[in-house]
Structure formats: C-alpha cells, structure tokens
A and B are shown apart, each in its own frame.
Chain A
Amino acid sequence: MLFGRVTGSAICTIKYPGTEGLKLLIVQPLNKKLEPLGALQVAADVVHAGPGDLCVMVRSREAALAMPDVKFVPIDLALVGIVDELVVRPDGLFDFTLKSGRNLYT
C-alpha cells in the first residue's frame, strides 16, 4: 500500500463489464516524504476523492477486491482512503540497518 496524490481524472466511455460507473482518477504515487515515485498512474476510486487529495492506494489483486460490488474486475490500483493527517519521523531518528550478529529492539 502506498501514498498517491490525485492530479486529474480519466473518462472512458467503453469499459470492461463490471467496471461501468467506476470513477477513474490520475494519481502520482508518492513515498513517505511525499516525493514522486515513478510515472503517473490511473486508479479506481471508491472513496470519492477529488483533485489534490492525498490518498492511500492499494495495488494488484487487492485493488479489485476494493470494488463495491463485482470483485472480479481488471483493476490493479485503487484508492482506499483519504489522508487527513500524516506524521512521519525524519530519517536520521532511526537506524534501518540489520547488523551482523544479534540485533536487540526492546
């Protein structure tokens, strides 16, 4: 699951059966610092997000499971939440390396 910023919408008149009525949005995938991660993608919307919204997205088969009715649809990216508040600690605060030998975390 990853962050995405809604940057626009896509409209298709002819769609695969089961995806009629689905809202398609153009999103920019983002990392935890909200920096762009790769190219723009199209996501199906089930939470009524709008342009500029920061969202939580889910990929692969689980994106199709997010659909309200038909769960067997060709969807591989879905918006599943609209972010109201995001708290991320700066990188220098934690050590992300696994050292040789025993690593104690408590």
Chain B
Amino acid sequence: MILGKVVGTVVTTISHRDYKNRRLLVVQPLHLAGDVPDEDFIALDNSQAGIGDTVLVNREGNGARQALKNPDACVISVIVGIVDSAFVQP
C-alpha cells in the first residue's frame, strides 16, 4: 500500500460493470523531500475520499478484489483509507 494525495476526479458514463457506482479518483503518490515523485495513477474509491485528502491506496489486484468483495473485479488500485497523520523517523 502507498500514501497518496487525491488531486482529481474522473467521470466515466460508459465503464466496465465492476466500476459502476464507485468514483474514480486521480492520485499522486507522496514522496520524501529530495526524491523523484512517482507517476500519478487512477484509483477506485472505497472510502468516500475527495480532492485534497491524503489516502491509503492498495495497488495490487488480489487485495483490491478482497476490498471490493468481488473475486473477479478487474481493478488494481483501490483507496482503502483516509490518512489522518503519518510519522516518518527523522
């Protein structure tokens, strides 16, 4: 799982049935100061997150299928939590 910030929303009227009734959000991964940031990606929202929220994202298919309770879901990235605080050892 990774930490990221929600920076955008995606609206898809025509989409695969596994994506129905859930929002797609654009997530930018967080990085340590001085590190090169990872590429942004799209994640399915399972935690009622919104733009500006710092979120916990599962980026693995099997975990995503468990989070969505659908053994055949064609989803990789799922937002599974909204982060209140993070501690990094100085």
Contacts and interface: CB of A to CB of B under 8 A. Distances in A.
B87 A106 contact: no
Classify the secondary structure of B's interface with A: strand
The interface centre, meaning the residue of A1, A83, A88, A89 with most chain B CB atoms within 10 A of its CB, is A1
Interface in B1-30: 3, 5, 7-16, 18-19, 24, 26, 28-30
A93 B8 CA distance: 12
A15 interface: no
Interface residues of A, number: 43
Contact of B54 (A65, A78, A100, A105): A105
A97 B33 contact: yes
Interface residues of B, number: 49
A61 interface: yes
A20 interface: no
B9 A62 contact: no
Given A86-B8, A88-B8, A97 B32 contact: yes
Interface string A67-92: 00001000000101111111111000
A58 to B, nearest CB: 6
Interface in A30-76: 31-32, 37, 46-48, 56, 58-63, 65-66, 71
27 contacts: A1-B76, A3-B42, A37-B39, A47-B15, A56-B42, A58-B75, A59-B76, A62-B75, A65-B61, A66-B16, A66-B18, A80-B15, A80-B74, A81-B10, A81-B15, A81-B19, A84-B13, A86-B11, A87-B8, A87-B9, A88-B7, A89-B52, A94-B7, A97-B30, A98-B88, A99-B88, A102-B87
